[in-house]
Amino acid sequence: MVDLVISERIEASDPRSASEALRSVFGEGVVTAESPVLRYVQASLVDDGISVTRITSSGTAVRATTPGSPDLVAFLVRSGRVRLSRDAEEVLLEEGGIGLLPMGEAAELRWDEVGLDLFSFPLTSISRLLGAEGRSVRVHAPFLVPQNAALADYWRRFASGLTFQVLNQPELYQRDLLRGQLVDALAAATIEAFGLSDVSEGDTTQDQDTVRRAVAFMIAHLGDPISVMQVAMATGISVRGLQLVFSRELASTPVAHLRRLRLDGARATLRAPVKGMTVGGVGRSFGYSNLGRFSAHYRDEFDEAPSRTLQQALDHASRSA
């Protein structure tokens, strides 16, 4: 167990004090309000992997602006409603809504009365999950809200689990393994929900080389239970970047291409049978531990069962003999 770095609570009744509190979350930020009366309460817990901040505020036309947070900040509207804007883009979020304050980009929140739970991820947490650890990374955030309802529900599930641990069971949150799992799960959900990627991977001049490296690694490990993450790491690119490159170059996904390589290899092997060959044995040699799944994928790809391919090859060999 480790001690938490920061645990604080700030109450402010004027914009200047609220601005000082907000800077502990955004690095730079200003709070303004049309009315002189402002209620602003901020409770934060910060460690080296994430900071969790709960804000409760009321006033008239309250604005919280930042020229660009050094962290990636995802938030949940716990109560009330808030308008989130970035450049000319603006969204209205009501209770249960989820929004994103992109890293290093100017943004603004506006409300009259609101309750927010904010989750601030440092660059190191995001770049590690993007597979770009140790490289210069600038995170591209194309969406201010989750891409669809399913991803939004998925994100809320992990956000709820994390806030419960932080606010209600801090002694459990201080345990390294539990905290690490919670933080990584929410960070991964944030990457998927908002379609985050490393913008340095948008350089299409390197796409063909990237695909060649990825395919070469796949071919070398057709019989191994490799994951897309392993392919990405071997290729020197993030998972999101690998998906984008395959989409641009091959109009496919890494998973679909790996499956096609395995099935092509299995078909070639079944067409050149040796003594004692079985469909199950061929499937296993190309990364399939489940015979039923192998047969289903094979039938979908070639419109015949693998056993049929093998039998035809055996019949042809018998006639030739």
Condensed to tens digits (0 to 9), the pLDDT of residues 267-294 reads 999 999 888 899 999 999 999 989 999 9
Q: Are residues 187 and 279 in the same domain?
A: no
Q: What is the pTM of this model?
A: 0.65
Residues 6+ positions from 178 with CB-CB distance below 8 Å: 165, 172
- pLDDT value at position 202? 46
For residue 48, being part of any structural domain is answered with yes
Q: Are residues 111 and 250 in the same domain?
A: no
Give the residue from 170, 193, 216 where a domain finishes. 193
For residue 95, being part of any structural domain is answered with yes
Residue with tokens 């071919």: 219
Could you tell me what percent of the chain has a pLDDT over 70?
88
For residue 66, being part of any structural domain is answered with yes
- Please choose, from the candidates 138, 52, 133, the residue with its C-alpha nearest in 3D space to the C-alpha of residue 102: 138
Give me the CATH number covering residue 210: 1.10.10.60
Count of domains for the chain: 2
Which ranges of the chain would DSSP assign to H, the alpha helix?
15-26, 123-129, 149-168, 170-173, 176-193, 207-220, 228-235, 239-250, 254-270, 279-285, 291-302, 306-320
Q: Are residues 153 and 62 in the same domain?
A: yes
Q: Are residues 24 and 156 in the same domain?
A: yes
Mean predicted confidence (pLDDT) in 138-145: 87
How far is residue 73's CA from residue 90's CA, in Å, rounded to a whole number? 16
Q: Does the pLDDT at position 303 exceed 90?
A: yes
Structure tokens belonging to residue 73? 């900040």
Q: Are residues 218 and 177 in the same domain?
A: no
User: Residues 281, 240: contact at Cβ < 8 Å?
Assistant: no
Q: Give the residues across from 139 on adjacent strands.
A: 198
Give me the CATH number covering residue 153: 2.60.120.10
Q: Are residues 176 and 129 in the same domain?
A: yes
For residue 289, being part of any structural domain is answered with yes
For residue 171, being part of any structural domain is answered with yes
Write out the H or E segment, with its range, that includes residue 120: strand 107-121
Give the residue from 161, 193, 225 where a domain finishes. 193
Q: Are residues 265 and 151 in the same domain?
A: no
How far is residue 76's CA from residue 255's CA, in Å, rounded to a whole number? 32
Q: Are residues 120 and 26 in the same domain?
A: yes
- pLDDT value at position 283? 93
Q: Are strands 107-121 and 72-80 parallel, antiparallel or unpaired?
A: antiparallel
What is the per-residue pLDDT across 225-236, written as a single tens digit (0 to 9) for each? Answer: 888 888 988 887
Q: Are residues 122 and 160 in the same domain?
A: yes
Q: Are residues 154 and 248 in the same domain?
A: no
Q: Does the pLDDT at position 1 exceed 50?
A: no
Q: Are residues 183 and 208 in the same domain?
A: no
For residue 25, being part of any structural domain is answered with yes
Q: Does the pLDDT at position 4 exceed 50?
A: no
Q: Supply the range of the domain harboring residue 307.
A: 204-321
For residue 188, being part of any structural domain is answered with yes
Q: Does the pLDDT at position 47 exceed 80?
A: no
- pLDDT value at position 201? 47
Give the residue from 193, 213, 242 where a domain finishes. 193
Q: Are residues 186 and 248 in the same domain?
A: no
Could you tell me what percent of the chain has a pLDDT over 90?
52
For residue 1, being part of any structural domain is answered with no
Q: Give, to the nearest 10 degrees, the angle between helix 239-250 and helix 228-235.
A: 90
